[in-house]
Structure 1
Amino acid sequence: MDVRISSKHMDLTPPIEEYAERKLEKLPRVFDRIQNLEMVVDKARNGYVLEIIANVAHHEPFVATSEDADLYACIDLGVDRLLRQLRDHKSKLRDNKHIPSAREMET
């Protein structure tokens, strides 16, 4: 899995990059079809804006955004939102069972 972390209007320090990578490494444990992850951190007027894009096989990319004054809290919130989307998608795939039609029930 390819992980890219970039920033706009600011420089990311190594501890922040390590923290973000540690958080993003947890995502494949929940859903193993993630091909790559891209995190973009933007310095806004009142704090930080974070966007995480997860490209998944056979599906449109999942996008999670978060805003917060604290960068670490912003990363946590963004990862939690993406985890929620991935868990919901995984449960839809797992629970998508074939319901027999009336014709199949008669025979």
Structure 2
Amino acid sequence: MNILITGHHVELTPAIREYVETKLERVISHFDQVIDVAVVLGVEAPAEKEKRQRAEANLRIKGDVIHAECYAENLYAAIDMMMDKLDRQVQKIKGKTQGHRQESQKRAGEVTAEDEL
């Protein structure tokens, strides 16, 4: 799995890189089919002056791309909120894929000729 962390108008210190990687480990531990992750951290100039720090992530998994973006006053807070969003989305997708693998309740009680042999 590849992790790409970039910064727009932000100096990426080793502490910020380590913080993002440790937060990503939690998300990746839920779902093992992650191909790569692209994280963009930056400072924006929106109308709301207090919410200038932006954290954005694109998580590529088998067959889909998950996107999350958050704004906050603090860069670490924006990263935390973004990771929470990613975690919820990954758990939702994981639940859907696991839910489709189960046999339907309608057919659970049926016994086929092959089962009797």
Note the C-alpha offset of 1:25.
Answer: 1.8
Note the C-alpha offset of 1:44.
Answer: 1.1
Q: Which runs of 5+ in 2 are unaligned?
A: 113-117
Task: Name the counterpart of 1:44.
Answer: 44
* Distance in structure 1 (CA, Å) of the matches to 2:79 and 2:56: 9
Larger mean CA deviation between 24-33 and 68-77 belongs to 24-33
The letter of the residue matching 1:40 is: V
* Distance in structure 2 (CA, Å) of the matches to 1:19 and 1:99: 42
| CA distances 1:25-73 after superposition (whole Å, capped 9, x unpaired) | 222210010011110012112321111111001x221001110010111
Taking structure 2 as the reference length, what is the TM-score of the superposition?
Answer: 0.79
* Distance in structure 1 (CA, Å) of the matches to 2:71 and 2:37: 19
Task: Name the counterpart of 2:87.
Answer: 83
Taking structure 1 as the reference length, what is the TM-score of the superposition?
Answer: 0.86
Q: May I ask how many residue pairs the two structures share in their alignment?
A: 103
Note the C-alpha offset of 1:17.
Answer: 1.1
Report percent identity of matched pairs: 29
1:26 is paired with a residue whose SS is helix
